[in-house]
Amino acid sequence: MHFAPVENKETQMGREIYIRFMAPVVPETTDQLFQHVDNAIRNKYERIHLLLSSPGGSVFHGLSIYNFLKGVPTEVLTYNFGTVDSIGIVIFCAGSRRFSVPHARFLIHGVRFNIAGNASFDDKQIEEHLKSLRIDQENIARVIADTTGKPLHKIEEDMNNRTTLNPNQAKDYGLVHEIRSELLPIDAEFVVIRELVQRPPQQVIQVTAPLVQAYTHSIQMDIGTL
C-alpha cells in the first residue's frame, strides 16, 4: 500500500513574513528593507506583509523600493498603521492588496529637493535640477494614477494641492482596499526596520515642484533633512 507524503503545516500554508517599517525613507532603512526582502525571496516565502508608517524621504530610494517590490516573485501586501506621507505613498502602492487601520493618514504632495545652504549653481545646473524634479514628480504621479485608476492630471493636481486623506477617503480614492484593525497573527514571523543613524539638522534651501512647469520657483530657507 502506498501512502502519500504528509506535508507539514508550514509547507501547506506557505511561509509569510511581516516587516514593520516605521522610519523615514533613507539609504539606511532602504538597505534594511532590501535585505529582508532578499532573504524572503531566497527562502521562498510566499508572501511579504509590509507594515508602513513613514513621513517619506528620498524620492530616489522610494521609487527604487516600489519598482523592486513590484518585480519580486513574491506577493507583497502593504498596510498603513499610522501615517504614510510623501514618497511613502509610492511604497504603499506596491502592495497587490493594500490595507489601513481605521485611524491613519495619507498625505500626497509634490516633490522638493534640499540643497546645502552654501551650495551654488549656474543656470544650466539649476535647469538640470528642475528637469530631474519634474521627472520625479511625473513618475510619482504615474504610480499613484496606475494604482488608483484616476487620471494623471487629477493626481498631479492633488499633489500640488497637498491632499490629505483619512482611511475612508483613501479607500474611495482607490489607494486602500480594506480598512481593518488587525495587522498580524500572534505567531507571525516578524522583523523591524528603524533608522539607526541620527542625522544632525542642516540648513537647506527647499525648491518645490509645483512651480517648475511655469519655470518660476519659490525658494525658502528651511531647517531639516528630507
| Candidate list 109, 120, 153, 217, residue with the active-site label | 109
- Catalytic annotation present for 53: no
**Residue 205 near residue 114 (C-beta atoms within 8 A):** yes
- Catalytic annotation present for 49: no
Q: Which amino acid is at 41?
A: I
| Candidate list 86, 132, 153, 217, residue with the active-site label | 86
Active-site annotation, residues: 86, 109
